[in-house]
Amino acid sequence: MIKLKKMTKKEYKLFIKKSIKRFAKEQTKSGFWTKEEALKESKAQYKRNLGKGFKKSKFDFYSILNDEHKRVGDLFLSKEHKLLFVGEIYIRKKYRHQGYGRALLIKIEKIAKKQKYKKIGLNVATHNKIAQGLYTQSGFGAVGEFRMKRI
């Protein structure tokens, strides 16, 4: 149902621009950042985590393709010690609720097993109930809870 294709440098640059904006929006929805600080903070966090550049990054960046070879979304994975961490899953709006997210999680699990990882990790926003449901149905359990108080 899906295939993963490594991003080119050009695709990566476009992806990062959009991803920074999506992350800022999600963090604002979650109440983590104000609308005024969100874009600046998102850029700073991406620079901290991905600052080594496309080739030197600890992340693998993929375009998610369907059977017709249309790009339905994007994915980046981080290879941590004994943990394959999902940095971002993004399914384009017109392809949502068609099983691509579930198929992608199965694909990620196969990648993790093939590469001898024992765990897969990811973060999900508290307001994103659809993603939470998908992750729970796919066997992901909560291992902690981050809380914040704005002062």
Q: How far apart are CA 88 and CA 79, in angstroms?
A: 13
pLDDT digits (tens, 9 = 90+) for 131-149: 999 999 999 999 887 777 7
Cross-strand partners of 65 = 3, 71
Alpha-carbon torsion, ordered 100, 106, 85, 47, to 10 deg: -20
pLDDT digits (tens, 9 = 90+) for 63-96: 999 999 999 999 999 988 889 999 999 999 999 9
User: Residue 136, SS3?
Assistant: helix
**Could you tell me if 122 and 86 are in contact, meaning their C-beta atoms sit under 8 angstroms apart?**
yes
**Could you tell me if 103 and 67 are in contact, meaning their C-beta atoms sit under 8 angstroms apart?**
no
Model pTM? 0.86
Taken in order of first residue, the domains within the chain and their CATH numbers are 2-137 (3.40.630.30)
What are the Cα distances from residue 106, in Å, to 25, 60, 102? 27, 17, 6
